[in-house]
Structures are given as structure tokens and as C-alpha cells.
Amino acid sequence: NMVTGVSSGFEKQLEIVGVGYRAEKAGEKLVIRVGYSHLVEVEPLPGITLSVEGNTRIKVSGINKEAVGEMAARIRRIRPPDAYKGKGIRYAGEKVHLKPGKAGKVVGKK
């Protein structure tokens, strides 16, 4: 893993799903808007680079596999995917199983 890390590096991608949810870079920091009343600023761990593609994809890369995974998990923890609508931050390719929610009323039943 150390040889792979130095030669090609490791990376994890995250997707932000939700209306008005977005991410942007501010210097080294990552600023995330995910429906809270405030902006969430994320400081990268040493040796980790954060980049934003579009405004809904975050790429975490570095030479240490454990640090890359930890940083990606910290970002995802800010707003994990919602079980009902699927909104939130998820890993690229992650499948979120949605719950059905409330059952509709049966009309005409007493």
C-alpha cells in the first residue's frame, strides 16, 4: 500500500445530493452548504488534498490510504444520506436504500 500511495496515490470521491446542497473551495479549506443555518468548513488532514468538481462532487486524495478514508468519512458525517429522500453526502457509487415513508390513507373506509 505504501508503494501504491507514493506512486499513484489514493482517492475517494463523494457526491452531494439535494436541492441547494453544494461545496466550494476556499483556499485549502472546503466550504459545504448542506441545509444547515451555517456554512460548514472542513480543514484537510496533513497530506490530504481536497478538490471540488462542479459543485456537487468532492475528491479526497493523498498518499496515505487510511488518512484519505478518514477524511472522506469526516466529510460524509457532516450530512449522511437521508433514509427517506436520499439527500446528503454519500460516497460515489454508494447505493442508499430508501424507506417507503407513511402509507397513504385508504379512501372510503370507515
More confidently predicted of 46 and 1: 46
Q: Where are the domains of the chain?
A: 2-91
Q: Strands (DSSP E) along the chain, which ranges?
A: 10-17, 22-26, 29-33, 40-42, 48-53, 57-62, 88-91
pLDDT higher than 70, residue 104: no
Mean of the per-residue pLDDT values of the chain: 86
- Confidence at residue 70, expressed as pLDDT on a 0 to 100 scale: 92
pTM (predicted TM-score):
0.84
Nearest in space to 74 (alpha carbons), one of 98, 55, 48: 48
- Confidence at residue 2, expressed as pLDDT on a 0 to 100 scale: 66
Overall average pLDDT of the 43-47 stretch: 90
**Which of the listed CATH numbers 3.20.20.70, 3.90.930.12, 3.40.50.2000, 3.40.50.150 matches domain 2-91?**
3.90.930.12
More confidently predicted of 3 and 79: 79
